[in-house]
Amino acid sequence: MSDTITYEQPLNERIRILLRLESLFRNIQDTLYETAPASSHATLERLQEILTLTDRSDLKKDLMKELERNQLTLSALKQHPGVDHKQLDGFLDKLVRLNRDLDAERGKPGQELRNSEFIKSFRQRSGVPGGLSDIDFPHYHFWLNLPAEARVASLVEWVNSFNTIREAVTLVLEMIRKSATSTTVVATKGFYQHSLDKDIPYQLIRITLPLDAPYYVEISGGRHRFSARMMIPNLLDRPTQAMEDISFQLTTCIL
């Protein structure tokens, strides 16, 4: 387990969607293979959130553009001395393959799953309080009471229909995060502000604190600047800003 915790702030809507998808793809693995009906329910809820996020018609196009842009950036590194060409070629091959696989997919991600009447009914009823109860959705009640092996097998098949998107999202975000190194800075009286060069395409802000730090970070920003506040958590009242000077690791990702 890591001894640090990282907070991230996307600087454009495209990266925001990718981060949300990454979170859902990661979290869905926590319940996917669990046999309890409650775990299957949680998995299906996350799956329908993935379906909603990937409803955007331009998502696949945006991902392909990101892959192509990264491919051009990495290809230019071949001329630099000291570059590990074997590792670089491996990345480039992966970028080309994912771009090809995304282009080959027809319709939106998980299109076959979107056509399922069972999934359509689940998505419609999940937005209604209590709409998934056995009196309102007996088909779902039947599915939840199938043997665990049958439920898990269905869920694995449905989740796997997003494998190409998941792999592309993971690779794009991995490359963005690795595009910069962190520096140590100080939030004076719990507040830090930083100006950004508008001519540089910053994509993501990352702030890392020790896991045992008694603060969490609120980051806000756009193309020109961002700010970070170190907040003291409070589950009853409104959290307050820390008033001491706090050092942290800052990474401004560009790629």
Do the beta carbons of residue 232 and residue 187 sit within 8 Å? no
User: Are residues 190 and 169 located together in one domain of the fold?
Assistant: no
User: Are residues 105 and 17 located together in one domain of the fold?
Assistant: yes
Sequence letter at residue 25: F
User: Are residues 20 and 66 located together in one domain of the fold?
Assistant: yes
User: Are residues 245 and 128 located together in one domain of the fold?
Assistant: no
CATH classification at residue 205: 2.60.440.10
CA distances, 162 to each of 49, 62, 145, 201, 225 (Å) = 12, 16, 25, 28, 35
User: Are residues 135 and 16 located together in one domain of the fold?
Assistant: yes
Six token digits for residue 81: 């001395």
User: Are residues 84 and 56 located together in one domain of the fold?
Assistant: yes
User: Are residues 198 and 161 located together in one domain of the fold?
Assistant: no
CATH classification at residue 16: 1.10.3900.10
- Boundary residue ending a domain (175, 196, 231): 175
User: Are residues 161 and 243 located together in one domain of the fold?
Assistant: no
Indicate the number of domains in the chain: 2
- What is the extent of the structural domain holding 151? 4-175
Six token digits for residue 19: 């981060």
User: Are residues 120 and 191 located together in one domain of the fold?
Assistant: no
Closest CA to 204 of 24, 26, 16: 16
The pLDDT tens digits along the chain (255 residues) read 689 999 999 998 989 999 999 999 999 999 999 999 999 999 999 999 999 999 887 888 888 888 888 888 878 777 766 666 777 788 888 888 999 999 888 888 888 899 999 999 999 998 888 889 989 999 999 999 999 999 999 999 999 999 999 999 999 999 889 888 899 999 999 999 999 988 888 899 999 999 999 999 999 987 789 999 999 999 999 999 999 999 999 999 987
- Boundary residue ending a domain (142, 159, 175): 175
Distance CA 54, CA 165 (A): 9
User: Are residues 190 and 165 located together in one domain of the fold?
Assistant: no
- Boundary residue ending a domain (156, 175, 194): 175
User: Are residues 75 and 144 located together in one domain of the fold?
Assistant: yes
Do the beta carbons of residue 246 and residue 215 sit within 8 Å? yes
Distance CA 30, CA 40 (A): 11
CA distances, 14 to each of 71, 76, 128, 175, 218 (Å) = 18, 24, 29, 15, 20
